[in-house]
Structure 1
C-alpha cells in the first residue's frame, strides 16, 4: 500500500482545491535562502565552537587558579 493512499490523496486534493484555490504552484518549490541570511546561521556556530575550544584550552593551561 502506497503512502499516502489514493483515498487520502484525493481527499487532500479536494480540500486543497476548495480552501486554497488561489494557491500558486511556483510558491511551493523549495530553495535555499539568500547567502546574506544563510551565512550568519553557519558562521555564528562555527565561531562559538572555535571560541569555546580556545577557552577550554586556555583554562586547561591555567590549572593553578582552578578550585
Structure 2
C-alpha cells in the first residue's frame, strides 16, 4: 500500500460521506435525527465502497466506462 493509494482512499471516503449526507438531507424528512438514522446504514458502507474504488481499480473502471 503506497502513500498515493492511501491518500486516494481517504479522499474517496471524505467525498462519499459528504455525498451520503447530502442525499439524506434532500431525500429524507427535515428532522436531523431522522436524517442520521437513515444515513447511518449508508455511512457504514462508505469504507467498503472506498476500498473497492481505490484498491480494486474501481475508479479506473468508472473512468473507462464514462
TM range (shorter): 0.3 to 0.5
Alignment TM-score, normalising by the size of structure 2: 0.38
If asked which structure has higher relative contact order (CA below 8 Å, sep 6+), I would say 2
Higher helix share: 2
Report the TM-score when normalising by structure 1: 0.38
